[in-house]
Structure 1
Amino acid sequence: MSERRATSAELYAMSKHLGVRCSDLQIAYMRCKEKYNHPEDCLQEAKAVVRCSDNLLLEMLDKAPREFKDYCECLDYYTLDIRKCRGEQKTLEKAAPVS
């Protein structure tokens, strides 16, 4: 994987998918942060969350590239206001169901 990371719009567009696919890793990371004071102590958990996000981004770009791009562009245009992009969201979720 290259060093490309998801943009804010891409993260918003994937938010439901992230909640389903990466939630266990996110919870483990948050619990680690609550337990330890130093960021280095939770580096492995943080890397796991980033890896999950990166993999999901690649999957979205592969499964539904046009729908994903359209939704992200809408979110960019409307300053991440999801309410104004419901049509694009539905189209993406039809092409790449949340599961």
Structure 2
Amino acid sequence: FGKYCDEQCKEFMLCKTEESDPRRCLADGKAVTACALEFFRKVKQSCRQEFDDYARCLEFSSSKMEFRYCRKTQAALDNCMLEKLDLERPHLGYFRCQGFITQKDPSLRLIWSAHMNQHQGYPKTSQGIQPGTGLGSIGTASLVCCRYAVPTTVECKLL
């Protein structure tokens, strides 16, 4: 839902932050609600069984609704969402990012270099990528960098 309705949610939160009168944000709030309804209708129409199985697993597998017990049903839901709705689950940390840069973006090397000049060491990646290497595709994996607003950093990882 968060990725599907990202723009509407950002507009609503921006309005809430900028406006002292909440009535000025009603239209943006309605847009978020409409987007959420559209999203869940699509999920219900295309992946209802997988969604229900995952929700049931989360609810009954542990008292704290821990994800670790439900990875199989999560994978089934993720596959259904990707195949039938062309929606990919965002990677962990997606919503912390201010913006994304992929290996196809020519500014990646400049941002990566600026980041390296400001900080000692290299950004943590699962494969230990060093600046100037691995900036293209590696098999089916892609290097994705995330710009964070505070602190001003760039974090890269292979997906």
| TM-score, with length taken from structure 2 | 0.48
Gapped regions of structure 1 (runs ≥ 5): 1-17
1:82 equivalent in structure 2:
67
Greater share of strand residues, 1 or 2?
Answer: 2
1:53 equivalent in structure 2:
36
Asked if residue 39 in structure 1 is aligned to residue 22 in structure 2, the reply is: yes
Greater share of helix residues, 1 or 2?
Answer: 1
Alignment of 1:1-99 (within 5 A): 18-77=1-60, 78=62, 79-97=64-82, 98-99=87-88
- Structure 1 distance, partners of 2:72, 2:2, is 20
Instruction: Report how many aligned residue pairs link the two structures.
Output: 82
Q: Which has the higher contact order (CA 8 A, sep 6+)?
A: 1
Shift of 1:19: 2.6
- Structure 2 distance, partners of 1:33, 1:83, is 35
Shift of 1:38: 2.2
When Rg is computed on C-alpha atoms for both structures, the one with the higher figure is: 2
| TM-score, with length taken from structure 1 | 0.74
Shift of 1:31: 0.4
Q: What percentage of aligned pairs have identical amino acids?
A: 28
Shift of 1:84: 2.4
RMSD between aligned residues: 1.4
- Structure 2 distance, partners of 1:69, 1:75, is 10
- Structure 2 distance, partners of 1:51, 1:80, is 28
- Structure 2 distance, partners of 1:89, 1:35, is 37
